[in-house]
Amino acid sequence: MSGAATRAISALRRELLEIDLAGPRGHHCSRVALAVTLAVIVALVLRVDAPWWAAISAFVSTQVTAPSSLRRGALRIVGTAIGAAAGLLLSPWLIEDQVALSLALFIASSIGVLGLQVSRHGYAWLLGAVTADMVLLATLDDPTSALSVACNRTAEVTIGTLAAILVSHLLSPREDHAPPRARAPGWSDLLGAQWASTQHAMRAGLGVMLVPLAWSWLQLPSFSQAAITVAAVMAVPAISDDDAANREKIAARGTHRILGCLIGGLAGLAVLIASFENFLPWLAALAIGVWVGAHVQASARDIGYVGTQGAVVFIMTMVQGSGPPSSIIPGIERLAGITGGLLIVEIVAILLTPSARNAETR
């Protein structure tokens, strides 16, 4: 883990030294920052419950070209809406039954991770599972909140995604030069040729199922942060038949996840300490941080997830309510909750992934 962190920090330093505002990469980062800014403004005007979700949706939906942004955005909206509806429909039967709720989290998460690996619409499967988990987890804080969470998350994701699609339609290249995506294997032979993917999905589902228990045991700030933890444990790298390689991938991704979380959170807190109480300076600071996160996300040095996680946590630290935050305390609590949850995820991932020794003896 320390070696992966050292390599990531070294690569991050080189990326920051190569920042170029004028090149194609710089233009893409500017479009990402513009989409996030637009999403935040619209979310604040409409007074949605969690404007940071709109901002995060804009960040992850803004792709290099207009067609790719539209494709990713459509999958995000559809997956979120279906997941919200599923969580809402299941919640009345699960509110009073902790065992049934845990089982539902396991099933939804396993299906979402498996769909991510085997379906050509994998991103929608993942978002559907994440959103269903969010709705169900919210009932642990407030049993009556399922409807409001389902509606609010769908609205917030839609606002951010539409902002990304609009900015991409107006400013992004129309030509999609990305190489053709590998053909998805589909849902067949899950217990045969794709057994490794099925096992991996079940491990991820078990990890998600255990998160609420650890969350309550450690008394972390709020179950609202569990959604970020759930998303983190489910956004796993592609699986293979090599357990040792899988373990290395998960460990490296976990290192990048925690590193990005710490960098983004500390950067956000540093900005909050500067007391940006006026709207425009605060919005400008948010846009600059998002621009840097997008720059790192586009890295060719295999540290893109550091930028993704850093930008997400930076947004969640900066965007707290109906405008510029008046206190850094909510940001500190949010950072503590996210960091604690991510540490739980990494421990679960390490314990549930077969060790290299076990892989060699099979």
Give residue 184's pLDDT. Answer: 79
Cα separation of 114 and 202, whole Å? 8
For the stretch 26-50, what's the b/e string if a residue is b when 16 or more beta carbons lie within 10 angstroms of its beta carbon?
bbbbbbbbbbbbbbbbbbbeeebeb
The full set of domain ranges for the chain reads: 2-173+192-361
Question: Mean pLDDT per 10-residue run, the chain (362 residues)?
Answer: 79 91 93 98 94 96 96 97 97 87 92 91 94 90 90 97 98 77 80 84 84 72 63 66 68 80 88 80 94 95 91 89 74 68 68 55 46
Give residue 62's pLDDT. Answer: 97
Give residue 220's pLDDT. Answer: 62
Residues 6+ apart with CB under 8 A from 361: none
